[in-house]
Chains A and B, each alone.
Chain A
Amino acid sequence: MDNEIRKEIIKLITEMKFLTATILTALLAFISGLFLPWWAIAITSLLVTVVIHQRAGKAFLSGLLGVFILWAGLAWWIDMKNNGILSKKIASVLPLGGNSLLLVLVTGVVGGLIAAFAAMSGSYLRASKSR
């Protein structure tokens, strides 16, 4: 019984950690984007997992998700207000068959991947320090 409650609590904490890390990754990436070059998302994503420590796999996933949501979300929002005028053109210049939605997803994945590896690095960094 005690054991099960402990497990539940640990699971909950882990989930909350994951959620917090993901949100924080997105938030810091957004703020950095206002002032810093685009690649600052790598630094902010790394910092998040140094502060909120998760295992490498979880860190990777929260980094990926955090910046994917931010970049794809922003792109989708911008695209909606623009009626897809520019995205259709760019998605034809890039070989995406003029598909705006695909361009939004590619945008999210590119940002997400960088954040994911950066976050994983952060996780290993923290782990190595703690030993």
Chain B
Amino acid sequence: MRIVPFAISAIITGGLVFALNKQWGKIPPMGKFLSPQHGFWQNAEPVNKSFDAELNFSGLKGKAEVYFDERLVPHVFAENDEDLYFIQGYLHAKFRLFQMDLQTKAAAGRASEIAGPKAIQFDKRQRRLGMTFAAENAMKELEKDPQSKALFSAYTDGVNAYINSLKESEIPVEYKLLNFKPEKWSNYRTALLLKMMAKMLSAETESDLPNTNAKSIFSEEELKMIYPQVPDSLEPIVPKGTVFEKPGIIPVKPVTADSLYFSNKETVANRPVSESEKSNGSNNWVVAGSKTQSGVPILCNDPHLELSLPSIWYEVQLVTPNSNAYGVSLPGSPFVIIGFNDSIAWGVTNAQRDVKDYYEIKFKDKSKSEYWFNGQWVKTNLKEEIIKVKGGKEVKDTVAYTVFGPVMYDASFSDDLSNKRNLAIRWAAHDPSNEGMTFYKLNRAKNYDEYAEAIKTFSCPGQNFVFASKAGDIAIWQQGKFPARWDRQGLYVMPGEDSSYMWQGFIPQTENPHSKNPERGFLESANQRPADSTYPYFIPGSYITPRAVSITKYLSGMINITPDDMKKLQNNYFNSLAEDARGILLNYVKEADLEAVEKKYLDLVKSWDLMASPDSKGQTVYQCWWDSLEVEIWKDELTKVNPQAAWPEEQTLMELLKKDSAMKFIDNINTTQKETLNDVVTTALKKASANLAKKESEGKLEWTKFKKPTVYHLLKESLLPFARTGLNVGGNGNIINAVTHSHGPSWRMIVQMTSPTEAYGVYPGGESGNPGSKYYDGFVDSWVEGKYYKLWFMKDEDRADKNIKWTMKFEKK
């Protein structure tokens, strides 16, 4: 009888197949994953792979060709707009599908479907922030206009044409590792992606909650001193001296403001959405022909974002008989976002304006179905959110919508401290708008008027649109839909029991800060306050001052500018803040009190050239010393409340100390003696030295080794082998070359408006999102070295050019 051994070996076989076909915790189904015909090996792209193809889709109207150059940048030549964006969708999906899918799922608060229970809290926050509400409003808006609907739908069809053609063995390797499948695209998902950008750039540009706690411990005068609206060193976007029109709207302060708002000392226990993200800055500038060697304008832009692999950007050229645009696009959305066409060039930086406020809501009872508003109980709109969880039970959460917006924080959202208040948010990103069409029009704009026309409907996130044309014009507009606020409206949590604290209107679009062809011959923006104190509106925000100071300083002194000069400037390491701050440190440190090792670190700061270069030890010591000084000066006051009050800007502390070396906050209120600036500067160095000595013993005193610049894969630490770590690059958030640990220039672009256009660009990634492709991270080394690629602005007559490596032919089926 062989039945028993058969049964045993059959059971072993079956058991093995079962075990290797199933996900165990984080371990993917190993049999499927390792199978060379199904699993990850299928994603190992031959290094000499051909991308030639002939493709037929019923969604196309005519014929089109895509020419890939040696960097795998596609140059798309289509007969009409719909086919153009169909193909852009197809290419985004082919090269970046996982990224699009993951980012929009995360935007919609669906990360738990992929990551399991650990993402539930993240998903709740996304939904309570009203991300899906915002995306639904945006989708309705973009489908309202037939032209817009046709363009976005063509893009969606292109993405889905790729997804439909995908064999299981071909799905990106991340799906195989995480064991899930791509989901169909829709216009709604494009709207979600745009709202993800809105969140990244406009949800965290306020500090209302930490400010509310600051208000509980500081007097009005102190608040103005440590959180100033207009920094002393400000170099505004609109050159100083610009005369502003009389305001078209004058918001009225509620009569109860003094009693119920300014003097309300109640704290909040809720933590903000996330700590204010100061790294999401950017630079852009444009110089007029009067300052360049060629006599034509040069436009430069480097948006600073979380660096990731695959990159947030996908480089592309999009051509039809009526349009020709080159630049970077966002996988998940049609159009070129930053780039140039035959006539103009444009770029963006973040406006950093505060467009999100909190209102305290009084619910009638636990059901949250009614709230007190204008003297009566008003019904809320209750939205039930169902969060599906991989490997767990689904979670339900009910979000109450009020006249202001969703109630983000209430008793049922429990990751925060106890004793919290019900807070609704009013966020500009919730309002219906169609930002995409701005880029459609910019891609085709021929001159200043068409540029101004294209951007004027752009609402959120507010951006600084810099502009140059072949006609020789340069310009900049800070564009967005910004609330017109009465003085200090929305700096703190506002009463939500009546309409008097609501936004009363928006600043008229024509009054947004802007400048065209200024006398000084250049314009720049680097997330600073857009205008000086003469601008007739109250405009709070998370502004960043130092980079604009550096850029203005350099551009003012330059003449006969060439693209090479601009490359050097984008990669510049000068620490303008340290120029003043170091002086304070060196003037007040008590050298006699220092130990030998502390003296050694002091000498490194003394001999430092103020450059945050990769090998600089002075930058490391300076930064640690200054950070330590901030703790010495602020921590005693700010931690009187929990969560702590907003941390003042680095810039502000420097300016305060420069003005008054006996400034009142120097003293540590927790000690009996009275500390002087000499004392705290010296203590700060001593404390920093302990940390520095430890770093030095690990060989990490050089700036680049200290901050470990890293371009993470989208899945961060869990897929560290897919990241690029230990990049030899200097810089910092407040330095022109703004590379921090994992943030920095996500695309560097320089466009000289000659004929033909001369353009350069680089981003720290590669065109392919496939970690098994040689095009996955091919640009990273050039980016680290500050090198650029000359961008090939392909013409119709170049269709047989030797730069073309592969051709994809598309045709209607």
Contacts and interface: CB of A to CB of B under 8 A. Distances in A.
Contacts of A39: 17, 20-21, 31-32
Contact of A120 (B3, B9, B39, B771): B9
B250 interface: no
Interface of B: 1-3, 5-6, 9-10, 12-14, 16-17, 20-21, 30-32, 34-48, 173, 177, 719-722, 771-774, 776
Contact of A107 (B6, B21, B41, B771): B41
Contacts, number: 128
Best-buried of A30, A78, A98 by chain B (most CB within 10 Å): A78
A25 to B, nearest CB: 14
Given A42-B17, A85-B774, A106 B34 contact: yes
A21 B14 CA distance: 21
11 contacts: A34-B37, A42-B17, A71-B35, A81-B48, A82-B46, A85-B771, A86-B772, A110-B31, A121-B6, A121-B10, A124-B3
Nearest to A74: B36
Contacts of B773: 85
Nearest to A39: B17
B2 A74 contact: no
Given A74-B37, A117-B13, A128 B721 contact: no
A101 interface: no
A83 B774 contact: yes
Point out which of B44, B722, B773 has the most chain A C-beta atoms below 10 A from its C-beta. Answer: B44
Nearest to A110: B34
Contacts of A128: 1-3, 6
Nearest to A115: B13
A105 B511 CA distance: 68
B771 A117 contact: no
A30 B30 CA distance: 18
Q: Shortest 8 CB-CB distances between A and B: which pairs?
A: A86-B772, A33-B37, A124-B6, A92-B721, A74-B36, A82-B44, A38-B35, A128-B2
A117 B16 contact: yes
Nearest to A30: B37
A131 interface: yes
Contacts of A85: 44-45, 47, 771-774, 776
Main secondary structure of the interface of A (DSSP, over half): helix
A5 interface: no
Contacts of B47: 81-83, 85
Contacts of B21: 38-39
Contacts of A42: 13-14, 17
Q: Which of A34, A46, A128 has the most CB of B within 10 A?
A: A128
A1 interface: no
A75 to B, nearest CB: 5
Contacts of A117: 9, 12-13, 16
A86 B173 contact: yes
Interface residues of A, number: 42
A78 B47 CA distance: 10
Contacts of A37: 32, 38
A70 B36 CA distance: 9
Contacts of B32: 37-39
A89 interface: yes
Nearest to B47: A83
Nearest to B39: A38
B722 A89 contact: yes
Interface string A88-131: 11101100001000000011001101100110110011011001
Contacts of B31: 38-39, 110-111, 114
A52 interface: no
Given A37-B32, A118-B13, A124-B3, 20 more contacts: A30-B37, A33-B37, A39-B17, A71-B34, A71-B35, A71-B36, A75-B34, A78-B44, A79-B41, A79-B44, A82-B44, A85-B44, A86-B43, A86-B771, A87-B44, A89-B772, A114-B13, A121-B9, A124-B5, A125-B2
Contacts of B13: 42, 46, 114, 117-118, 121
A49 to B, nearest CB: 11
B645 to A, nearest CB: 42
A78 B36 contact: yes
A131 B6 CA distance: 14
B38 A38 contact: yes
Contact of B719 (A82, A93, A107): A93
A90 B40 contact: yes
A56 interface: yes
Interface in A34-80: 34, 37-39, 42, 46, 56, 70-71, 74-75, 78-79
Given A42-B13, A82-B45, A111 B2 contact: no
B20 A114 contact: yes
Contacts of A114: 13, 16-17, 20, 31
Contacts of B6: 121, 124-125, 127-128
A110 B20 contact: yes
A124 B9 contact: yes
A30 B45 CA distance: 20
Contacts of B1: 128, 131
Contacts of B20: 39, 110, 114
Nearest to A98: B721
A111 B45 contact: no
Given A82-B44, A83-B774, A33 B34 contact: no
A26 B34 CA distance: 16
Contacts of B36: 33, 70-71, 74-75, 78, 107
Nearest to A76: B36
A26 B17 CA distance: 18
A120 B14 CA distance: 12
Contacts of B34: 71, 75, 106-107, 110-111
A88 B41 CA distance: 12
Nearest to A91: B721
Contacts of B42: 78
A130 to B, nearest CB: 9
Nearest to A125: B6
A21 to B, nearest CB: 16
Nearest to B14: A42
Contacts of A121: 6, 9-10, 13
B98 to A, nearest CB: 14
Contacts of A75: 34, 36, 41
A87 B13 CA distance: 27
Contacts of B774: 83, 85
B476 to A, nearest CB: 42
A86 B44 contact: yes
Contacts of B14: 42
Contacts of A107: 34, 36, 41
Among B9, B719, B720, max chain A CB count under 10 A is at B9
A114 B12 CA distance: 9
Contacts of A124: 2-3, 5-6, 9
